[in-house]
Structure 1
Amino acid sequence: MNKRGFELTLNFVVILILSVVVLSFGIKFIHDLVASQEQIIPPVDQQIRNELARLIVGNKRVAIAFNKATIQRGSSEGFGLGIRNTDPTKTYFRINAQCMKYGSPEQEDLSSGCPPDALSLSYDKSQIRILNNEYEDTMIVVKVDKRAPPGNYVVYVNVCSYQSAAGSCPIDDSVHRYDQLQKIFVTVP
């Protein structure tokens, strides 16, 4: 038997195995990169900015642009949230969004709580600093799970304001609530 031929075949098999391993790591890396992109909060586009500017007039300090949407399972939708600071004593803000109500398509009453993991919400959970008479906008992304039951969902959005660095902002915190509790209405067909 020829030693060189055997050695060449063995080297080819080793290189083939290493190539498959490197290819699978590359595929996994690309998959993770794409999956992480879904969690990134997109910037607010000009159409949403225009709508928020229209909504935040007079005494209104918090608004959600286009707060109703029909979202297919496995898809997501972004909702623009605008905050205008009119209180010179408070410059720190925190946002909390939570799915609070659900009703099946047959139900007219949305009294029951949301099914667990039906909606995932992505938004800036860090503290936001807005000076007096300044304005800030951000996005709340609602992603519907592939196994979410069809029906109507209501997401409550609470914006809390503080004089100094702030803690949490529970949905039911009416003491630090900056403006009215905002709502996002999602229909899953």
Structure 2
Amino acid sequence: MNKKGFELAASFLVVIILSLVLFGAGMYIFTKIIKTSYDFKNDLDERTIEQLDQVMDDGSLVVVPRNRLNVERKKAGLFPYGFWNEGDVAATFDVSVTDKNALSAVISGAPITYNAVKVNERVHGLISIQVPKTASKGQYAFDIEIKKGGNTYGSIQRVYVLVV
């Protein structure tokens, strides 16, 4: 067998293997970055938690400080919320979101149940409302309701998504 031909074939195999390894490493890094950015976007940051706590300091049982967002089609609006257990014993709280306009939006973060919330414990959460690509421009209303033992706790908070 020709020595030059063998070296060329071996070099070609090395290049193919290195290309596959680099491609795999690139895909791994890409998915890790996307996952990290998604997790970061959907988690509450320290500043938002402090703002929720400041609003609850006035004695409000349920707070949703941001009640109106402009959202593009196929994008999501994030609504932070907070509440605290004013009762004498630990309790279970249920958070739900009602679409008042039949927008068929994808709602993440609700319904959710918080079990055994201690007396005076503050709970913070985040609700994501994703607008479908078929949505018409306009304003859409959603009600965020928190229930304690099956009864409405505090007041129902209405939030608005303005599709632009």
Q: Which amino acid in structure 2 is aligned with residue 114 of structure 1? A: L
Q: Any conservation in 2 of the 1:56–1:63 contact (CA below 8 Å)? A: no
- State the secondary structure of the residue aligned to 2:103: coil
| Aligned CA distance change for structure 1 residues 73 and 114 (closer, same or farther; 3 Å) | closer
What is the distance in 2 between the residues matched to 1:180 and 1:64?
Answer: 11
Output aligned runs, 1:1-189, within 5 Å.
Answer: 2-3=2-3, 5-37=4-36, 38-39=38-39, 41-46=42-47, 49-50=50-51, 53-54=54-55, 57-58=58-59, 60-98=60-98, 100-102=99-101, 113-115=102-104, 118-122=105-109, 125=112, 127-145=114-132, 147-149=133-135, 150-162=137-149, 175-189=150-164
* Greater fraction of residues in helix: 2
Q: CA RMSD in A?
A: 3.0
- State the secondary structure of the residue aligned to 1:73: coil
Shift of 1:148: 4.5
Q: Any conservation in 1 of the 2:83–2:123 contact (CA below 8 Å)? A: yes
| Aligned CA distance change for structure 1 residues 176 and 44 (closer, same or farther; 3 Å) | farther
Q: Any conservation in 2 of the 1:119–1:148 contact (CA below 8 Å)? A: no
Taking structure 2 as the reference length, the TM-score comes to 0.75
Q: Any conservation in 2 of the 1:160–1:177 contact (CA below 8 Å)? A: yes
Taking structure 1 as the reference length, the TM-score comes to 0.67
Q: Which amino acid in structure 2 is aligned with residue 50 of structure 1? A: Q
What are the ranges of 5 or more consecutive residues in structure 2 without an aligned counterpart? Answer: none
* Greater fraction of residues in strand: 2
| Aligned CA distance change for structure 1 residues 2 and 21 (closer, same or farther; 3 Å) | same
What are the ranges of 5 or more consecutive residues in structure 1 without an aligned counterpart? Answer: 103-112, 163-174
